[in-house]
């Protein structure tokens, strides 16, 4: 009897593991075929323009953002190149995905290795980087986004290290200016209000150059 029970549990556990693996494989297929790759690049790590790298981001955070971009709750400032909000191109394709698809894609992306930092021109000086690090510490960002932005303290919060500088600047500015208010954004509002444009630029430069793929 005991042996039988053990076998039953073992096969249940195996079933759970293979179901999770199936979700990741399904998520990969969806990511590759439902336009995501065109904007966020191979395995979510090579985004175009100032779009976000999504590889190795927290699964729960990814899922809420996908839902909020789909429903239109997450808004962004206008892309000067097109005159349309940055979220619009993505929002326009989201109707082809079901809620279940979004869950699978979130699982897949969270399991990918984070992007390597993208070099910025002109290269920031050691002083620029130290200034960004000091501002990040002084304003208390560490409490939620972790040391060097490498690991958020709560799985529904985003990791920041290695995201593109221009993307980081835009998100902080959009949150401070009350454009991006979806999800848990208001947790940050009081803090980001204390940052002027120069402080945002400094923190974005610093965070963008931290390699989260290196432990």
- Contact residues for ligand HEC (CB under 6 A)? 31, 34-36, 38-40, 51-52, 54, 57, 62, 64-66, 76, 86-87, 89-90, 93, 97, 105, 136, 139-141, 143-145, 157-158, 160, 163, 168, 170-172, 182-185, 187-188, 191-192, 195, 203
Distance separating alpha carbons of residues 64 and 45, to the nearest angstrom: 19
First to last CA, the chain: 46
In the chain, % helix, strand, coil (3-state, to 5) comes to: 55, 0, 40
Q: How far is the CB of 130 from ligand HEC (least distance, A)?
A: 16
Q: How far is the CB of 56 from ligand HEC (least distance, A)?
A: 11
Q: Are 208 and 117 in contact (CB under 8 A)?
A: yes
Token output for 202: 């400094």
Residue 199's nearest CA partner among 117, 140, 155, 150 is 140
Q: Which is nearer to ligand HEC, 69 or 123 (CB)?
A: 69
Distance separating alpha carbons of residues 194 and 84, to the nearest angstrom: 28
Q: Which residues of 19-35 are buried (b: 16+ CB within 10 A; e: fewer)?
A: eeeebbebbbebbeeeb
Q: Are 132 and 205 in contact (CB under 8 A)?
A: yes
For ligand HEC, which residue has the nearest CB? Answer: 183
Q: Which is nearer to ligand HEC, 7 or 156 (CB)?
A: 156
Q: Residue 148: which region, alpha, beta or left (left: phi > 0; alpha: psi -120 to 50)? A: left
Find the DSSP H helices in 51-92. 59-71, 88-91
Q: Which is nearer to ligand HEC, 72 or 140 (CB)?
A: 140
Q: Which is nearer to ligand HEC, 57 or 209 (CB)?
A: 57
Q: Which is nearer to ligand HEC, 13 or 181 (CB)?
A: 181
Q: How far is the CB of 137 from ligand HEC (least distance, A)?
A: 9
Q: Which is nearer to ligand HEC, 189 or 214 (CB)?
A: 189
Q: How far is the CB of 183 from ligand HEC (least distance, A)?
A: 3
């Amino acid at each position: 009897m005991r042996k039988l029970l053990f076998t039953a549990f073992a096969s249940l556990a195996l079933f759970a593991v293979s179901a999770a693996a199936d979700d990741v494989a399904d998520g990969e297929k969806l990511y590759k075929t439902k336009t995501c790759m065109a904007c966020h690049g191979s395995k979510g790590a090579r985004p175009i323009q100032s779009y976000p790298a999504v590889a190795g981001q927290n699964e729960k955070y990814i899922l809420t953002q996908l839902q909020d971009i789909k429903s239109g709750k997450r808004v962004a400032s206008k892309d000067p190149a097109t005159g349309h909000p940055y979220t619009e191109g993505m929002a326009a394709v989201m109707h082809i995905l079901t809620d279940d698809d979004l869950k699978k894609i979130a699982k897949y992306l969270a399991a990918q290795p984070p992007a390597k930092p993208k070099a910025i021109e002109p290269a920031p000086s050691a002083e620029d980087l130290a200034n960004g690090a000091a501002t990040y510490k002084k304003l208390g960002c560490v409490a939620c986004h972790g040391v060097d932005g490498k690991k958020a303290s709560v799985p529904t919060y985003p990791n920041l290290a290695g995201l593109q500088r221009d993307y980081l600047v835009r998100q902080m500015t959009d949150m401070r200016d009350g454009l991006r208010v979806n999800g848990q954004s208001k947790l940050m509002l009081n803090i980001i209000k204390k940052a002027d444009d120069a402080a945002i630029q400094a923190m974005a430069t610093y965070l963008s150059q931290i390699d989260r793929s290196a432990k």
